[in-house]
Amino acid sequence: GILISGPEVLEATRALDTVVFDKTGTVTTGVMDVVQIVAVRDDAVDQVLLRAGAVEDLAEHPVAQAIARRATAARGDTAHSVVLPSVTNFLATPGAGATAMLEGLQVVVGRPDWVAATVGDDSFAVPTPMRDLTATLVAVGWDGAVRGVLAVRDTVRPSSAQAIADLKALGLQPVLLSGDRDEVAREVAAQVGIDQVRSQVHPEDKVAAISQMQSAGGVVAMVGDGVNDAAALATADLGVAMGTGSDAAIAASDITLVRSDLAAVVTAVALSRVTLRVIKQNLGWAFGYNIAMVPLAAFGMITPMLAGAAMALSSVSVVVNSLRLNRLRLP
């Protein structure tokens, strides 16, 4: 379940000391649900949800998909579906949100601060009932004002905590980089055992954070799944993409995990390191063997038949040593 782009990836794992994780869809399942909707002004909750869903239906992010899915389900159940209105001029801004024209209005959906700035609503504040929620908040606005806020939440992958513990056992330092609210990012980090957290970061901030770690002498791997992570994956010394992620993330990565499980990250690092060690053993044995045997053959101290048998034995020993990888027990 691991696709490695080339042999240079094996070398990159040797000096690795830091693994940076995206949150949504990487540490968490990425299967999100809308848990609360609040209309900020006089607009109906149904209208806020419908317009948000119409815009988000064209976006790829798990948060957007959750909102679109909820909007198409009348009264919150899937028995009576709703047809979303058509939008035009859709534009996604990585790490912020999306805009589109709907019924003659520019509807803006995304991070509350970005939505408020985009629609020009200087008086907007997150509704009191939502301030203490450990959930991702998405605002919806049009016609010069923020009209509503949706709370979206997902769950931590069952294997994430053990995977983080295994990475620490390999001597690697995990770091969580998330565009989400600080409360949400820290709660997820606490659940899986990550101590270093940077929240409310934009895609360019992720790139800057990784570059800063590299400038400090770190060798950094980045694990992500979305379009927002593509630049960070390309910047890192080793980019690891979840197989269920976006095409941009997969294209920018060095390793693709076919199964969306952080345990595969541990397996990829451990297997790469062991494979590199076996390659070096084989090279050392082959060079040493030939350095010892070639002079003996040159001076006639062994017969050609014996020299041929010895060369075959050298090749067999390299193959047998490599086959030990089949019996390797990985995390």
Please name which of 206, 211, 199, 212 lies closest in space to residue 224, comparing C-alpha atoms.
206
Active site residues: 22
Helices (H) and strands (E) in the chain, counts: 12, 13
Chain-centre distance for alpha carbon 146: 30
Do residues 28 and 155 lie in contact, with contact meaning Cβ atoms separated by under 8 Å? Answer: yes
Query: Which of 206, 249, 209, 252 shows the shortest CA–CA distance to 225?
Result: 249
- CA–CA separation, 112 vs 24, rounded Å? 18
Question: DSSP of 85-145, one letter per residue?
Answer: PP-EEEEEETTTEEEEEETTEEEEEE-HHHHHHHHT-TT----HHHHT--SEEEEEEETTE
Nearby residues of 103 by Cβ (< 8 Å), 6 or more positions away = 85
Dist CA 271 CA 170 (whole Å): 12
Give the contacts of 57 (CB within 8 A, at least 6 positions apart).
64, 68, 71, 72, 84
CA–CA gap between residue 125 and residue 137 (Å, rounded) = 12
DSSP-derived secondary structure letter, 84: P
Q: How many CB atoms lie within 10 A of CB 237?
A: 20
